[in-house]
Amino acid sequence: MNKASYRIYYSIAYFVLNLLNRIRDTMDPFMTKVGTIFASTGLSANFFTWLSLITFTLAGILYACRSLVGEYWVYLPLIGSCLILLGGFLDIVDGSVARITKQVSKRGSFLDSTGDRISEAVIFIGIAKGGFAEPTLCMIALSLSFLVSYTRAKAESLQLGLAGLGLGERAERLLLLAVVSLIPVPRAMEWAVISVSIIASSTVIHRIIVAAKKLT
């Protein structure tokens, strides 16, 4: 990657990270309105959970099928990114619908959390299989992503809330992956995977430090 391409990548990645940090807290009122609209359809929150998982799975499958589509593989990052963004939107919708319709349940929470882990695994495996990024980098990104979720789950089991702590939560990771992979530089998706690893590792470290200070 030449210096000009690196500057383009860095500038866009930095912009995306700062944008995510600024809009996170402003999304709740908007998503409440969106949740109300989707709740009016009569479809359950679990329906949107499954629809989100299916959408993410399709993205992973598309990435993995690079060798089967010939010269049209150049469109896969665009299609995959659109599916990831759609899946992320549906993932947010299911929580909003659950709260609005008072369908929040332990079963729904379990299905949502498990589906999140499955979808991330499918996406990174698909990226590695399709040769869009080095398999080792995908393994690192996936492992760190799982650690972000594990540190929160373990802390919550010890009555310590870490929700929202750190920039590298799942929604932010997937949005960063989708956006950075479209930057017009060589092996953009590989850099997107690296970006996910960076924000995930910073979040894991942040949570470990906070938990270590607060837990006795």
Boundaries of every domain in the chain:
3-214
Give the relative orientation of helices 170-180 and 76-100 as an angle to the nearest 10 degrees. Answer: 160
Residue range 3-214 in CATH 3.30.465.10? no
Q: What's the whole-number mean pLDDT along residues 15-43?
A: 70
Q: Which residues are catalytic?
A: 116
**pTM of the predicted model, to two decimals?**
0.84
pLDDT at position 1 is 53
64-73 per-position pLDDT tens digit: 998 888 888 8
pLDDT at position 12 is 57
Q: Say how far apart CA 108 and CA 83 lie, in whole Å.
A: 23
